[in-house]
Structure 1
C-alpha cells in the first residue's frame, strides 16, 4: 500500500508541475513558510476549488511559479550537437541531462532558506553553466563524493526525489561525476564562496589540449574518489579513458597522475608496485 501511495503522490506532483502556471486551485511556493500566509492561502484555495467544482486544492513548496519547469527550460537552451547515425539524425545535449537535473536539485535542496534576499541561481555562459545557492557546503568539498549526505531541507529533498527531479537521495554528485566522465568532460568545480554561498560550475566539453592543469587535476581526483567508493582504483589506463587520450600519448596520462600526486590529492595503493601497474586511491583513503 505504501508503494502505491508513493506512486500516486509522484504522479500527482508531476501532473501539477506540468501545468503552465498557477491556477485558482494550485499554488506554487518557493520557500514562504509564514503561518499567516499559509492559513490564508489554504482558505482561499479551498474556496476556489469548491466554486470550480474541484475535489481538492493544492499548495506545493519548493517550486517557483515562474521557474517550476526550469530543468526543461535549461535543456532547451543549452548547446546541442547534431549527429547522423545511419539515416537517422540525432540531437545530443552539450551537457549530460542527469548532471543538470542533479545540480538544479542540489541548489534547491541545500539552499539556506533563512538567508534573505537570495534565491538559487542558474547562469548559462558560452562554455559553462554555473549553479549557485545561499549557504556554504555542508561537507568538505574534497569529500563530497564519499561523505554521508547532509541536507538543510530534508522535506524538500524527499519531495524532489518523489517527484522525479533528482535520483535517489545522497547520490547526486556521484551521478554528476559519472556522467561527466562518460562524456570525457572535466569534473564540475565546486566552490565555497566566503562561507556564504556554494557555486558549482559545469563545463562544456573541450579538446584535451585546452584543458587547464587545474581542471585536469580536479577531474583526476574526483574520478579517483568515484572509483574508490565503488571498490576500484585509478590507473594510467583509466585516466586515458577518462580524458580520451590515445595509447600513443599515454605520457599525458602519466603527467596528470604526477600533477595530482604532487597536489597531494591521491596516493599509490602500493608504492612497491612497478610503475606501469601502479594504481591510486584518494589521499584520505
Structure 2
C-alpha cells in the first residue's frame, strides 16, 4: 500500500490482550486526567474510548492492548511491562566530583507523565539549596533553576531512542554539577551548537505531543531557550551540550564566580547569551553580557575582552560590520 508505514515504537503493543479492568489497573488514568484538568468519565467504556484516543490503548474484538506510549507515560508500575523496566529513569548522587563513591540511587517506578511531578519534588529535596529574599521574605531554592530541571528532564524522556537496548534516561548529581543523559545521539541534521531556539526533531512525537498537552514541557523549540534563560537569571556557568555515538547529555553547573570560569566557559556564555538575545529580537551588547555575568560597571573592559575573544573564536559577530563604535557595538551569533 502506498500509505503504509512501519509503526512507531510508541504504537507497538506493550502487553498481551487484556480486559478493560486489567488495563485500568495497570494505567494511572486519574493522574493523566488531572494533568489535563478533565473529570474522570462516569463509566469504563467512556474511559477506554478516551484511552484509545490518547493512543494509550489499542482496541480488539476481545479486549485491549496497552501500547508502549501508554505504558511509558501512564504506568502505575513500569516494572510490570516486559522490556520497559530498563527504561525507568535513574537518579544517582555521587560524593565529590566523580563517580568513585555513590551516595544513593533512586529508580523511578511510575510512567513518565504520572511520575513527573514526584520526580521534580524529589530533586528539589535532595539538590543543594541557597537562600533568597523575595517580598521581604526569606525562602530556600535549589541552586539550579526549576524551569531548567523540568525542561531538561522532559527533553531526556521525550527524545531518547527507545530502541537502544538495556539503557534508559539518567540524572547524575555531583558536587559541582548535574547531568541529564538519554540514549540516542542527535539526528544527523542537528548541530550541537544550534540547539537553542531551533525546532527539535522528536523520535517520539506521540509522547512529545502528550507532554505538551499535559503542560509538562513547553512548546516546540522553546525548551532550551528557557533553560539558558534560567541559567542566566541564576548566574550559572553556560549550559554544556555533548553527545556520543549512542547518547546525548546536557550538564548544568553549580554557581561559580566569573573569576573561576575557564576561558572556554566565558566564550560559551557569551555565545549562548547572543543566541538568547537574537531569538528575543534583540542583540548582545557589553551591557547585556555584563548583566548576564553579574559583573560590575567597572568591569566593562573585562567584558569587552570576552566579546573580542568570542569574535576571534568565530562564535559571535558584529551586527553591523561597518560600525566602528566599540562602546555601543551590537553582536549576534556567528550564523545570524
TM-score (normalised: structure 1): 0.80
Q: Does 1:197 align with 2:260?
A: no
Match of 1:66 among 109, 113, 116: 109
1:1-285 matched pairs, under 5 angstroms: 35=13, 37=15, 39-40=17-18, 44-45=22-23, 55=44, 56=47, 60-63=70-73, 64=88, 66=109, 68=115, 69-83=118-132, 88-138=137-187, 139-193=190-244, 195-273=245-323, 274-285=325-336
Matched residues in 2 for 1:124 and 1:207: separation?
20
Matched residues in 2 for 1:108 and 1:47: separation?
24
Instruction: Call closer, same or farther: CA 1:38–1:206 in 2, change over 3 Å.
Output: farther
Instruction: Call closer, same or farther: CA 1:97–1:48 in 2, change over 3 Å.
Output: closer
Which residue in the other structure is 2:91 paired with?
none
Higher mean Cα deviation, 166-175 or 111-120? 166-175
Matched residues in 1 for 2:196 and 2:294: separation?
23
Long gaps (5+) in structure 1: 1-30
Q: Give secondary structure in 1 for the equivalent of 2:152.
A: helix
Q: Give secondary structure in 1 for the equivalent of 2:327.
A: helix
Q: Give secondary structure in 2 for the equivalent of 1:271.
A: coil
- Show CA shifts across 1:234-275 (max 9, x none): 111111001011011111111211121121011111233211
Matched residues in 1 for 2:25 and 2:239: separation?
47
Using the TM superposition, give the Cα deviation of residue 147 of structure 1 relative to its aligned residue in structure 2, in angstroms.
Answer: 2.3
Give the structure with the higher percent helix. Answer: 1
Higher mean Cα deviation, 92-101 or 147-156? 147-156
Which residue in the other structure is 1:16 paired with?
none
Matched residues in 2 for 1:223 and 1:141: separation?
16
Matched residues in 1 for 2:333 and 2:26: separation?
57
Could you tell me whether the CA contact under 8 Å between 1:71 and 1:101 is conserved in 2? yes
Using the TM superposition, give the Cα deviation of residue 86 of structure 1 relative to its aligned residue in structure 2, in angstroms.
Answer: 7.4
Q: Give secondary structure in 2 for the equivalent of 1:202.
A: strand
Instruction: Call closer, same or farther: CA 1:44–1:240 in 2, change over 3 Å.
Output: same
Could you tell me whether the CA contact under 8 Å between 1:123 and 1:129 is conserved in 2? yes
CA RMSD of aligned residues (A): 2.6
Instruction: Call closer, same or farther: CA 1:262–1:62 in 2, change over 3 Å.
Output: farther
Long gaps (5+) in structure 2: 1-8, 28-41, 57-69, 74-87, 89-107
Using the TM superposition, give the Cα deviation of residue 171 of structure 1 relative to its aligned residue in structure 2, in angstroms.
Answer: 0.9
Which residue in the other structure is 1:13 paired with?
none
Could you tell me whether the CA contact under 8 Å between 1:110 and 1:151 is conserved in 2? yes
Instruction: Call closer, same or farther: CA 1:82–1:54 in 2, change over 3 Å.
Output: farther
Using the TM superposition, give the Cα deviation of residue 283 of structure 1 relative to its aligned residue in structure 2, in angstroms.
Answer: 0.8
Matched residues in 1 for 2:281 and 2:305: separation?
24
Matched residues in 2 for 1:35 and 1:197: separation?
25
Could you tell me whether the CA contact under 8 Å between 2:10 and 2:204 is conserved in 1? no
Instruction: Call closer, same or farther: CA 1:48–1:91 in 2, change over 3 Å.
Output: closer
Using the TM superposition, give the Cα deviation of residue 168 of structure 1 relative to its aligned residue in structure 2, in angstroms.
Answer: 2.0
